[in-house]
Chain A
Amino acid sequence: AQSVAQPEDQVNVAEGNPLTVKCTYSVSGNPYLFWYVQYPNRGLQFLLKYITGDNLVKGSYGFEAEFNKSQTSFHLKKPSALVSDSALYFCAAPRGGYNKLIFGAGTRLAVHP
């Protein structure tokens, strides 16, 4: 069965430090993978996607994600965290349709001043 997993409920990082939010996947065929972010009291916002091609995908707000086929991972990264990056981050993959997504449980990112 197709699935995505986010092994960390929460990630804490100091402002200015690099951040990583982890995601692993188990999907058949060539994976499409997405990252969405949810700010407090808001809906989910699309950050970036991997379809094919370059393993390093650049997205909104300075975020990027690295697709690693051998490790079946798609970790979200940012070189220098901002307090305003504090939010809930979701990894997702399609199952049976491009926008019929399965989501990970979410990782709460807390960036401290």
Chain B
Amino acid sequence: EAGVTQFPSHSVIEKGQTVTLRCDPISGHDNLYWYRRVMGKEIKFLLHFVKESKQDESGMPNNRFLAERTGGTYSTLKVQPAELEDSGVYFCASSQTGNSPLHFGNGTRLTVT
């Protein structure tokens, strides 16, 4: 089976610009998660979708971040406007159920200059 795919793998943008990250989960996985690792810090939970619904978005840092999962398939994470502290690696993960192991994508490395 195809794994979780994320696009782009790298993105370099200037402060104030907008970036949209995309995640395609494993087919049939209703649960989709976004995590991020800011440089030198722990990996942190951002949010959790079940199908198209946001189950938990308690980890979203502020309203500059918007996640969507229209149709319950792929998801996008938009950062607008980007700030320097948003730099890091953004991971997407999916699972078949809420209690099955996570499958992670390779991540998107975001650099805001």
> Which residues of A pack against B, CB within 8 Å?
34, 36, 41-46, 49, 90, 95-106
Contacts and interface: CB of A to CB of B under 8 A. Distances in A.
A69 B35 CA distance: 28
B101 A49 contact: yes
B91 A103 contact: no
Interface footprint category on B: 20 to 34
A36 B91 CA distance: 13
Nearest to B91: A43
B42 A103 contact: yes
> Which applies to chain A's interface (DSSP): helix, strand, loop or mixed?
loop
Interface in B75-113: 91, 93, 95, 98-99, 101-107
B39 interface: no
Interface of B: 3-4, 31, 33, 35, 41-45, 48, 55-56, 58, 91, 93, 95, 98-99, 101-107
Contacts of B31: 99
B105 A99 contact: no
B45 A43 contact: no
B45 A100 contact: yes
Contact of B48 (A49, A99, A103): A99
Contact of A100 (B41, B48, B105): B48
